[in-house]
Structure 1
């Protein structure tokens, strides 16, 4: 059984003191340290490192450094994905990012959470629930997505949103907590006021 197999979706596990889990996270951090400290001129090496870290990824992946994650192997990314600076993915559970997704700076995808009661939390216990970002999603700057959330195809998450529940397809959503603002319509193809519409 691998270290990640010990993390069963929705069940508590020891993230801080289980030696296998700690070692797996350490190996990911070593790769991330190298990736985040490479010159932008070393784009081939950067791509090799990120592909070696992630569970799977498609064609035309752009990941701007710095990038942070816990394990890497639980992250699966589709084709034509652009990830801006300071993405943090806590991938105790799987994170699926579809095709043609844009992720702005300072975004957090957090599959991990902790018990509310102090007795279990002080033992270092946590749980993890998967996150799914479907195709053609745009995630604005500073968005936080918590465990178990799915963001539907084609939706846009406004900057600074805290996403605590599923977002359906083809909507603009924003706020804390994140709520649907409106549907995306054919009229949006003609707008030139992207920031206010």
Structure 2
């Protein structure tokens, strides 16, 4: 039996993102994100209900500022006390788990997709999804970028503007592009 592009994406295999089922899932996410971003803060509270409904799991006190963007939402898990500041983007074609007490500064981006290096295959929309895991009590400074497949250990600090291309050990502080232990 042939796997769907969504099944390939979920399995961490090469898939094409130019697919009607995936297009529909991204469209649903855009509608939920739009509701979150345009809702008055007092009405929205910690997160607009349509956005929260997309996520795998969300602790009762997780907070997502507007504006926010995600690709699917269906792969995002937010632990207790998680805070995402304004302008965060999560391209969640794979699992993104953000542990309890972790905080993301403004404009933090998390990218799970890696596009094919072959031009023709990339043009055809071929990509692979790798999960991102952020441990407990992690601080990620504004404008940092977390790339596909990265794990950030408990209590780590990622400096503002850092580009994290490799795993970060628990308690480590990383800065720069590419991010290095300070």
TM class by smaller structure? over 0.9
Query: Is the Cα–Cα contact under 8 Å of residues 62 and 80 in structure 2 kept in the other structure?
Result: yes
The change in CA–CA distance for 1:98 and 1:159 in structure 2 (over 3 A counts) is same
Query: Is the Cα–Cα contact under 8 Å of residues 152 and 169 in structure 1 kept in the other structure?
Result: yes
Deviates more, 1:6-15 or 1:140-149: 6-15
Distance (whole Å) between structure 1 residues aligned to residue 44 and residue 33 of structure 2: 15
Query: Is the Cα–Cα contact under 8 Å of residues 101 and 138 in structure 1 kept in the other structure?
Result: yes
SS at match of 2:116: coil
SS at match of 1:7: helix
Distance (whole Å) between structure 2 residues aligned to residue 44 and residue 77 of structure 1: 16
The change in CA–CA distance for 1:116 and 1:173 in structure 2 (over 3 A counts) is same
Does residue 95 of structure 1 match 2:125? no
Query: Is the Cα–Cα contact under 8 Å of residues 9 and 127 in structure 1 kept in the other structure?
Result: no
Question: Could you tell me which residue of structure 2 aligns to residue 186 of structure 1?
Answer: none
Distance (whole Å) between structure 2 residues aligned to residue 44 and residue 132 of structure 1: 26
**Number of aligned residue pairs:** 180
Distance (whole Å) between structure 1 residues aligned to residue 70 and residue 48 of structure 2: 16
Does residue 163 of structure 1 match 2:177? no
The CA deviation at 1:10 is: 3.6
Does residue 129 of structure 1 match 2:134? no
Query: Is the Cα–Cα contact under 8 Å of residues 9 and 130 in structure 1 kept in the other structure?
Result: no
TM-score by length of 1: 0.87
The CA deviation at 1:93 is: 0.5
The CA deviation at 1:12 is: 1.3
The CA deviation at 1:83 is: 0.7
Query: Is the Cα–Cα contact under 8 Å of residues 9 and 129 in structure 1 kept in the other structure?
Result: no
TM-score by length of 2: 0.93
Distance (whole Å) between structure 1 residues aligned to residue 44 and residue 71 of structure 2: 23
Question: Could you tell me which residue of structure 2 aligns to residue 15 of structure 1?
Answer: 17
Distance (whole Å) between structure 2 residues aligned to residue 45 and residue 171 of structure 1: 29
Structure 1 residue ranges without an equivalent (≥5) = 182-197
Cα-Cα RMSD: 1.6
